Amino acid sequence: MSSISVKCTAMACAAALILGGCSLLPEEAEAPSPPLIYAYEKTNYTFANVERGDILETKRVTFRYMPSVKQSLAFDVNGAALDAVYVSVGDDVKEGELLCELEDGGLSDEIDAVRETIAGYERTLEEAAESSKLELERYDLRIAADPENESLKDGRKAAEENYKANRRTTELRLAAEKARLDELLSDEEKHRLYAPFAGTVTYVKSFGGDGFTSTAGETFITISDKTSMVFSCDETDAKGLFAVGDVVTVNIGGEEYEAEVVSTEGSVASIVPRDYTETAAEGAYGVVSITQDAVYGVLRVPSGAVKSANGRSIVYMLEDGVRVMRNVETGFSADGMTEIVSGLEEGEQVIVS
């Protein structure tokens, strides 16, 4: 065999081996899909202008419309059943009018009996005085006719002394019964509530039917003098903010009125609005705003625009559509606004949110 044919045969075998070996190689992995491309959505920001103005630190104090003269009434008896309530909320009452009473457990019958006993002792004293007077007059006539009769004189003396002794005994008994009557009447008063002045019933305790029993000292009825209505405040953290004679501005139902502070006793303050002709319901409120600190004519931005980063105050702004950070120096802050001392110019815009 010629050398050429050998070489050709070897090359053919090599080619066959190479082609057959391709089946032994791993399959080629598929190329990954190209990444998805989303459309860019521009962020919507809320902006605020850097402006010059005032920043006020104010305190809002709420005043309730209520009578300056009112009195809460309570029984001074424990465990007594309710007998009757004669008034309802909104009723006008006169001074001294009976408002309600408790069952007295036979107290009224005992009072009537003691009064009868007193009346009996008083009649006894009157009758004894008249009887003694007539008896002594008879003795005086007989003694005048027989002035030397010592037995008549002794009889007169004995009759007079007997009368005085009986009178003294009866007077002591009468005094004891009167003292007893005073005690009973005092107990009876504890079972009753009377109007201390002419006014309007503004509260009656809900007593829940026949099972009610009294608790000493617990308010059962409140009487108010509706002619003395004022706006009063009792917020303890507002103490010291008002003085009698101060003129303040009060917002009532969205309308502002000048009002004078008329009292600081028993509450933080009571005010009477000037030119207020409306009839407010009890419990309606007015709001007085008190300025406690302020700066005027300063650069300011909403406090929500000022952030903190590494102990520094910063704001965010848009420059050429890109959000950037800027350092600022802040000052006074109150009522949702912050003073900008440096770092911003009037008319610039900051990102609030």
- Rounded to the nearest 10°, the torsion over CA 139, 145, 149, 153 is 20
**Residue the block writes with tokens 């509450």:** 267
Q: Tell me, what's the pLDDT at 6?
A: 40
pLDDT tens track for 278-289:
666 777 888 998
Q: Is the pLDDT of residue 26 over 70?
A: no
Q: Is the pLDDT of residue 9 over 70?
A: no
pLDDT tens track for 169-200:
999 999 999 999 999 999 888 899 999 999 88
**Prediction pTM value:** 0.50
Q: Is the pLDDT of residue 5 over 50?
A: no
Q: Tell me, what's the pLDDT at 62?
A: 86
Query: Alpha-carbon distance 262 to 285, whole Å?
Result: 17
Q: Tell me, what's the pLDDT at 302?
A: 95
> CB of 332 within 8 A of CB of 296?
no
pLDDT tens track for 208-226:
666 788 899 999 999 988 7
Closest to 231 in 3D by CA, of 287, 157, 178: 287
Q: What is the separation, in whole angstroms, between the first and last Cα of the chain?
A: 93
pLDDT tens track for 303-348:
999 999 998 999 999 988 899 999 999 999 998 999 999 999 999 9
Between strands 47-49 and 337-342, the pairing is unpaired
* φ/ψ (deg, to 5) at 327: -75, 140
Q: Which residue has the higher pLDDT, 75 or 280?
A: 75
**Residue the block writes with tokens 């008329």:** 262
Q: How many residues does the chain have?
A: 353
Closest to 102 in 3D by CA, of 193, 29, 231: 193
